[in-house]
């Protein structure tokens, strides 16, 4: 007889597989439509899945809202740009780079890994300080971190190009590359969530005092999750840079923070499936709204939403979801196979 | 020079203090970190001009004489805040502070984009009370008249607010609600009245900030509330969330610190002034997570 515990574990293991299959189906459907714009939308959506899943690793498990994760995207994008841009270009665009980086001409994959790695390192250092705080104070400190990174990036012109954009990034990110990263992020997030550390972290989310009384070191588990989540936000930022081809500090500031938070809240902070579904739902909604803003022909008349209404509709949708479905679309549940499918052979007992 | 610096610090700090007070008032009664406060400020700014996406701004309400204009804009700010409370925050009354925070963030985005749709994205030149820019000789310093008016207005507002909170019934109820909301309700404080009152005051304070900003910069920009809200927000936290006097003190302190940093930092480090400021905030939080002037109820009880 398979024990209840084993069945639960198997069910939990089906979550990342199912989510990956859903994303695969999404890519295939987008490519089957044969529209270039839709294929681009699919790639962008999957990059966002990478970032939001990374974001969820910290926010979902710890229950601490971070406003600072867009900054990790910024760091990842710039690190990847520094490492992959052709040296001649860097000499003119970013004259202040140190010798070693100025001469670097890396392949895009190690550069994306390095982008995530540097973001994770920064998270480890800042998190070591910020995560000593809890609750609203921690959230505000991450906000201060975001504002700090943005100020530095917007003004350190010789190294970051300042507020003028860095251009000419190799646009290698296809839906398939983005799918690979998204699936990797989901897998790692699922492994982390079901690990002892992830479980301990969720215990602190439910009740800080009780968790501490059970001997859980809140700080250590939070720091681990913060670092891990920064890695995927950094890598996602690098992908985003190489997807658009142009990066700018303000592309990784309040609007990205809002978008990531909105996706997470609409999908449901309580589960990994919520993070993924939130991105899918919101990205598809945005695509539809953008098309409506451009105008839809109904018979002879063209019907178009006024420009800018897209954000208003999204924000209103977010408020409505917060009011009527505070736990999000998935309400903390995971996508998983039902118990009897994974229970295996049950031997009749004598 | 040093007297000049003192006036700069006082005027900037005063504005930060008023903005921080607007955030602290709401946090005190309903534990809501109001991210939409900056957009309340922006909305009050744009209420001055006629809606159009043209580059040239046409003063609508802004053309009225000051004795009519100032109360009117304050009422618009207060009305907007009360409306936001009734539509967005009242249905979320029992949500967690985090959900409330995210909700206010969404409200801010909605308001900002509403302004974008109505007024277009380009900053517009608005000349409101341009004659106040003239310098006045005070001792060894020559100070713009506006700066003196701002400092005086801040003093008057703070005094009026202090008296209101101490003497009036609404003020008493607000302080009771900030202390312990459940207990206050049990003792007969009507929650809707207190919360609406706090929002109205907060919106009026946002309108004050808006008027000063427009008069100072001569620009109406959709994004103009954001920067000041960020600072105000940080002042509220540093001062101790929920402590009104703490918010005022921290607002003044941050204003003074940034005026001093602006004057004291070497030229090549000056663009990074705000980075130093935010770094300082993180440091303060690390040593005093409850803020510098934490109210008694701020520590979670077990």
Residue pairs spanning A and B at CB distance below 8 A: 122
Task: Assign B59 to helix, strand or coil.
Answer: strand
Looking at the structure of chain A, the number of domains it has is 1
What whole-number distance in Å separates Cα of residue A26 and Cα of residue A290? 19
Q: DSSP secondary structure string, B208-254?
A: HHHHHHHHHH-EE-TTHHHHHHHHHHHHHHHH-TT-HHHHHHHHHHH
Q: Is residue A318 part of a domain?
A: no
What digits encode the pLDDT tens for the residues A158-211?
888 888 888 888 888 888 999 999 999 999 999 999 999 999 999 998 888 899
Give the C-alpha distances (Å, rounded to integers) separating B255 from A144, B233, B260: 16, 13, 9
B177-211 pLDDT, tens digit per residue, is 877 788 888 888 888 888 899 999 999 999 999 98
Please name the member of A129, A139, A322 whose beta carbon is closest to the beta carbon of B103: A322
Above 0.85 for ipTM, yes or no?
no
Q: What's the rounded Cα separation, in Å, for the pair B84 and B251? A: 25
Whole-number Å distance between alpha carbons of B65 and A307:
35
| In a domain? residue A270 | no
Is residue A154 in some structural domain?
A: yes
Model pLDDT for residues B16-27, shown as the tens digit of each residue = 899 998 988 888
Q: Do the domain assignments include residue A83? A: yes
B101: which chain A residues are within 8 Å (Cβ-Cβ)? Answer: 65, 136, 139
3-state secondary structure of A325: coil
The CA-atom distances, in angstroms, between B233 and each of A32, A190, A236, A350, B19 are: 48, 35, 29, 68, 8
Give the SS3 label for residue B38: helix
pLDDT for B49 equals 82
> In this complex, do A140 and B102 lie within 8 Å of one another by their Cβ atoms?
no
Mutate to test the interface with A, among B38, B53, B101, B105 (most CBs of A within 10 A): B105
Q: Give residue-wise pLDDT tens across range B42-86.
A: 998 888 887 776 666 677 766 777 778 888 889 999 999 999 999
Whole domain around residue A178: which residue ranges? Answer: 4-253
In a domain, A157, yes or no: yes
Judging contacts by C-beta atoms under 8 Å, the chain A residues touching residue B241 are 136-137
In A257-307, the DSSP E strands lie at 296-298, 301-303
Residue A16 maps to a domain:
yes
Interface test with B, best of A70, A135, A136 (most B CBs within 10 A): A136
Please answer whether residues B101 and B35 qualify as being in contact, where contact means their C-beta atoms are separated by less than 8 angstroms: yes
Residue A347 has pLDDT above 80, yes or no: no
- Asked whether A46 and A31 are in contact (CB, 8 A), the reply is no
DSSP assignments along A142-172, one per residue: HHHHHHHHHHHHHH-HHHH-TTSPEE-----
Segment holding B137, helix H or strand E? strand B135-138
Phi-psi region of A150 (alpha: psi -120 to 50; beta: other; left: phi over 0): alpha
What 3-state class would DSSP assign to A26?
A: helix
């Amino acid at each position: 007889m398979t024990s209840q515990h084993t069945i639960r574990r198997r069910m939990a293991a089906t979550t990342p597989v199912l989510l990956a299959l859903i994303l695969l189906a999404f890519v295939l459907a987008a490519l089957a439509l044969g529209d270039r714009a839709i294929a681009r939308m699919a790639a962008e959506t999957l990059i966002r899945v990478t970032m939001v899943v990374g974001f969820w690793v910290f926010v979902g498990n710890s229950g601490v809202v971070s406003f600072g994760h867009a900054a990790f995207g910024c760091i990842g994008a710039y690190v990847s740009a520094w490492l992959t841009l052709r040296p001649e270009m860097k000499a003119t665009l970013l004259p202040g780079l140190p010798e070693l980086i100025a001469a670097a001409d890396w392949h895009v994959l190690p550069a994306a890994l390095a982008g995530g790695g540097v973001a994770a390192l920064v998270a480890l250092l800042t998190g070591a300080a910020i995560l000593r705080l809890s609750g609203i104070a921690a959230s505000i400190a991450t906000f201060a971190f975001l504002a700090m990174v943005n100020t530095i990036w917007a003004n350190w012109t010789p190294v970051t190009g300042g507020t003028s954009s860095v251009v000419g990034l190799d646009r290698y990110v296809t839906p398939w590359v983005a799918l690979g990263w998204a699936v990797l992020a989901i897998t790692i997030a699922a492994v982390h969530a079901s690990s002892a550390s992830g479980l301990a972290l969720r215990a602190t989310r439910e009740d800080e005092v009780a968790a501490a009384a059970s001997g859980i070191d809140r700080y250590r588990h939070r720091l681990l999750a913060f670092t891990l989540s920064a890695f995927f936000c950094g890598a996602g930022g690098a992908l985003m840079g190489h997807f658009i081809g142009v990066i700018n500090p303000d592309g990784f500031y309040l609007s990205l923070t809002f978008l990531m938070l909105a996706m997470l809240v609409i999908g449901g902070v309580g589960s990994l499936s919520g993070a993924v579904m939130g991105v899918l739902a919101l990205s598809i909604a945005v695509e539809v709204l953008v098309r409506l803003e451009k105008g839809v022909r109904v018979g002879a008349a063209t019907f178009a939403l006024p420009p800018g209404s897209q954000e208003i509709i999204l924000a209103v949708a977010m408020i409505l979801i917060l009011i009527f479905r505070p736990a999000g679309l998935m309400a903390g549940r995971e996508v998983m196979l039902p118990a009897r499918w994974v229970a295996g052979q049950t031997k009749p007992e004598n | 020079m040093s007297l000049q610096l003192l006036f700069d610090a006082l005027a900037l700090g005063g504005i930060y203090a008023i903005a921080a007070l607007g955030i602290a008032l709401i946090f005190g009664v309903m534990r809501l970190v109001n991210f939409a406060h900056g957009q309340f400020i922006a909305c009050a700014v744009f209420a001055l001009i006629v809606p159009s996406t043209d580059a040239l701004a046409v003063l609508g309400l802004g053309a009225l004489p000051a004795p009519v204009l100032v109360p009117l804009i304050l009422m618009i700010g207060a009305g907007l805040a009360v409306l936001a409370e009734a539509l967005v925050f009242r249905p979320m009354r029992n949500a967690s502070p985090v959900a409330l925070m995210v909700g206010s963030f969404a409200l801010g985005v909605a308001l900002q984009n509403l302004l974008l749709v109505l007024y277009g994205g380009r900053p517009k030149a608005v000349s409101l009370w341009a004659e106040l820019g003239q310098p006045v000789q005070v001792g060894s310093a020559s100070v713009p008249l506006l700066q003196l008016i701002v400092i005086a207005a801040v003093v008057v507002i703070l005094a009026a607010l202090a008296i209101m909170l101490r003497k009036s019934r609404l003020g008493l109820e607000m302080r009771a609600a900030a202390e312990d909301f459940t207990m206050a309700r049990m003792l007969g404080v009507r929650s809707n009245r207190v919360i609406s009152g706090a929002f109205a005051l907060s919106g009026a304070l946002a309108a004050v900030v808006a008027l000063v900003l427009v008069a100072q910069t001569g620009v109406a920009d959709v994004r103009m509330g954001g920067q000041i809200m960020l600072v105000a927000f940080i002042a509220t936290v540093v001062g101790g969330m929920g402590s009104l006097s703490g918010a005022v003190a921290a607002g003044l302190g941050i204003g003074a610190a940034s005026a001093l940093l602006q004057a004291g930092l070497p030229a090549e480090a000056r663009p990074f002034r705000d980075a130093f400021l935010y770094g300082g905030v993180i440091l303060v939080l690390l040593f005093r997570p409850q803020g510098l002037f934490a109210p008694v109820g701020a520590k979670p009880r077990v």
